[in-house]
Amino acid sequence: MTTVLDRPVVTQRSAVELDGVGKAFGRGPDVVTALSGVDLRVRPGEFVVLLGASGCGKTTLLNLVAGLDEPSTGTVTVHSSRPAVMFQEPALLPWLDAGRNVELPLRLSGVGRADRRARAAELLDLVRLGGQARKRPHELSGGMRQRVALARALAATTAGTDEGGGLLLMDEPFAALDAITRDFLQGELRRIWAATGTAVLFVTHDVREAVRLGQRLVLLSSRPGTVVGEWNLVNVDDRESLTDEVTGRLREVISTHART
Amino acid sequence: MPAPEAIASPDTQDAASVGAGLDALDTPTVARRPLLRRVLATGVPPLVALALFIGVWQAVWASAIWPEYQLPAPLAVWDELVSTVADGSIWSITWTSVHRAVLGFAASVVIATPLGLLVAKVPVVRSAIGPLLAGMQSLPSVAWVPAAVLWFGLTDATIYFVVLLGAIPSIANGLVAGIDQVPPILPRVGQVMGAGSLDSARLILLPAALPGYLAGTKQGWAFSWRSLMAAEIIATSPQLGVGLGAYLKHGSDFNSIPGVIAAIFLILLVGVGIELLVFRPLERRVLRTRGLAPA
């Protein structure tokens, strides 16, 4: 954690690996299968987008990776440092200013006061909020709050050692923002991802957002969630037609639910 | 590792200025009223109301509908207050009551805080004593005075017992309500950052519950002050010294209506004073840092 701007050496290991992961809630006749047979690998530093309609178990999957829940079947292996989670709402602590919100994960992992203050200032600079550290959440706009949340998540996932880089889990983080701010933040996320080299697992139901942001796009079906399609986006030139293609596939997947 | 492909380059160049523009446009603006206007707006109406009240009182007294021993002149009450100031007894009377109330209240906070935490976080404890704790608030603590006199005699223990039973339920219930109203996303944030239960309570749960807790302690203060007055009025004895309650009782015993009204006025003054000087500023500060009260 000496500097954010160095990309960690990329190895062939994965940041996180899911093997045949299934998750069911409840028992007996009321059982709800949220996920079944999900295989997914995110390489260190890779930007993977999970796309799916409602009920595809996106949030369940992120909870499993974050260690908030245990899979019913299969295994989840996290090789990176502790994954950080960003939610749809910024979830900043309203009684702490922006700087101290970013410092919180560092404080929890026992980083000294001076170090964590310096690190928080560095991360706030990265999200273009340098000099706003003393502002409280209610004094910031929605987009600024979400950037503070991003800086906090980065602080959390890079809090321990810097080996292997971090892993950022993002649960529709821009869904609650207005269109202009969302567009701006998507660009910012790309820039910050490139600058920090953290792996990102980004969940969304917005095809356009998925195609714009990801290096790899994974399509999940709904009830139960399984992987039904995958696209490599790294060398795609025509994003418009790919957006149409993915949208078409998504509509197909959704239509299957009308028949059951 | 494939390098992230460049997003449209004008985007990248403009991003900084677009971001700065969005921030400038979207940041909530706060209009501050000038200090003098605020002081006038909050200070003048209560003073006018007080003046009106005294005016009506004076008029009713002058019309002599009620005999003098039931309705004193405002000036008679004023003279009574001045005489207690002149012989210095006002300070010892007020101090006797205030220090009892503060001590009782402090003890209540110390007892009620862990109690509230237990009720809020341990389901068994909540179902066992939660309803009792909530019900205790509707039991006037003056109901405990006769029992306390039988148990502890006419001692300070009686008074503190009544004060504690008055204040503890309010403070504990306030903390429980405060914890119940913490948005579930906040403890989750702590959880994903790997906060242990102790860190989570100290750094997230308790600060998040502070507004509710503070409201509870404010009510707890009001209850301990009321309970104290009830105890002092009923349990009077030379060993207990003269507090505001005993002073009021003396006024009544000697058929001195100005004394009674002066005592009521002092009791009200202390209650309102502590509320305005201690709890109001504290509450405003807590709410303002959270963006819940206007600056």
pLDDT tier, B105 (very low <50, low <70, confident <90, very high otherwise):
very high
Dihedral sign of CA atoms B57, B61, B65, B68 in order: positive
CA distance linking residue B258 with residue B242, whole number of Å: 18
Distance from A1 to chain B by nearest Cα, in Å? 17
Please judge whether A109 and B194 are an interchain contact, meaning their C-beta atoms are less than 8 angstroms apart: yes
* Sheet strand arrangement including A227-232: A84-86, A167-171, A199-204, A47-51, A216-220, A227-232
B53: pLDDT strictly greater than 90: yes
Please judge whether B4 and A140 are an interchain contact, meaning their C-beta atoms are less than 8 angstroms apart: no
Does the beta carbon of A108 lie under 8 angstroms from any beta carbon of chain B?
yes
> Which among B7, B30, B289 has the least Cβ separation from residue A95?
B289
B64: pLDDT strictly greater than 90: no
Does the beta carbon of B195 lie under 8 angstroms from any beta carbon of chain A?
yes
Nearest to B257 by CA among B72, B74, B79, B64: B72
Nearest-by-CA chain B residue for A65: B192
**Which chain A residues are closer than 8 Å to B2 by Cβ?**
215, 234
pTM of the model: 0.78
Q: For chain B, first and last CA: distance in Å?
A: 51
Does the beta carbon of B19 lie under 8 angstroms from any beta carbon of chain A?
yes
pLDDT tier, A141 (very low <50, low <70, confident <90, very high otherwise):
confident
Give chain B's mean pLDDT.
87
Q: Residue A219 forms beta bridges with which residues?
A: A51, A229
Nearest-by-CA chain A residue for B18: A184
* Residue A260 pLDDT: 55
Q: Between the CA of residue B205 and those of A58, B144, B209, B213, what are the distances in Å?
A: 27, 34, 6, 11
- Greater confidence, B29 or B283? B283
A9: pLDDT strictly greater than 50: no
Q: For chain A, first and last CA: distance in Å?
A: 51
A25: pLDDT strictly greater than 70: yes
B1: pLDDT strictly greater than 70: no
pLDDT digits over A182-231, tens only? 888 888 888 888 888 888 899 988 888 888 888 888 888 877 777 877 78
ipTM for this model? 0.81
pLDDT digits over B120-149, tens only? 989 999 999 888 888 888 888 888 889 999
What the block records as the tokens of B148 is 């306390």
What the block records as the tokens of A251 is 């509509």
Backbone phi and psi for residue A36, each to the nearest 5 degrees, phi listed first = -150, 130
* Sheet strand arrangement including A16-25: A32-42, A16-25, A73-78
CA distance linking residue B284 with residue B265, whole number of Å: 26
Distance from A211 to chain B by nearest Cα, in Å? 12
Nearest to A236 by CA among A252, A216, A250, A251: A216
Distance from B113 to chain A by nearest Cα, in Å? 20
Does the beta carbon of B188 lie under 8 angstroms from any beta carbon of chain A?
yes
* Residue B3 pLDDT: 42
pLDDT tier, A160 (very low <50, low <70, confident <90, very high otherwise):
low
Rg of chain B over all Cα atoms, to the nearest angstrom: 27
CB A171 within 8 Å of CB A200: no
CA distance linking residue B227 with residue B215, whole number of Å: 18
CB A158 within 8 Å of CB A83: no
Residue among A141, A183, A186, A233 with most chain B CBs within 10 A, to mutate: A141
pLDDT digits over B220-252, tens only? 999 999 999 989 988 888 778 888 998 999 888
Please judge whether B11 and A215 are an interchain contact, meaning their C-beta atoms are less than 8 angstroms apart: no
Which whole number is the average pLDDT over A79-106?
87
Sorted by sequence, the CB contacts under 8 Å of residue B153 that are 6+ apart come out as none
**Which chain B residues are closer than 8 Å to A10 by Cβ?**
1
DSSP string, chain A: ---SSSPPPP-SS-SEEEEEEEEEES-GGG-EEEEEEEEEEE-TT-EEEEE--TTS-HHHHHHHHHTSS--SEEEEEE-SS--EEE-SS----TTS-HHHHHHHHHHHTT--HHHHHHHHHHHHHHTT-TT-TT--GGGS-HHHHHHHHHHHHHHHHTSS--TT--EEEEESTTTTS-HHHHHHHHHHHHHHHHHH--EEEEEES-HHHHHHH-SEEEEE-SSSB-EEEEEE-TT-S-HHHHHHHHHHHHHHHHHHHHH-
Using omega within 30 degrees of 0 as the cis cutoff, is the peptide bond preceding A44 cis? Answer: no
A242: pLDDT strictly greater than 70: yes
Please judge whether B4 and A128 are an interchain contact, meaning their C-beta atoms are less than 8 angstroms apart: no
pLDDT digits over B246-270, tens only? 899 988 888 889 989 999 999 999 9
**Which chain A residues are closer than 8 Å to B188 by Cβ?**
68, 87, 91
Which whole number is the average pLDDT over B164-183?
92
pLDDT tier, B12 (very low <50, low <70, confident <90, very high otherwise):
low
What the block records as the tokens of B199 is 């860190």
Residue among A68, A82, A139 with most chain B CBs within 10 A, to mutate: A139
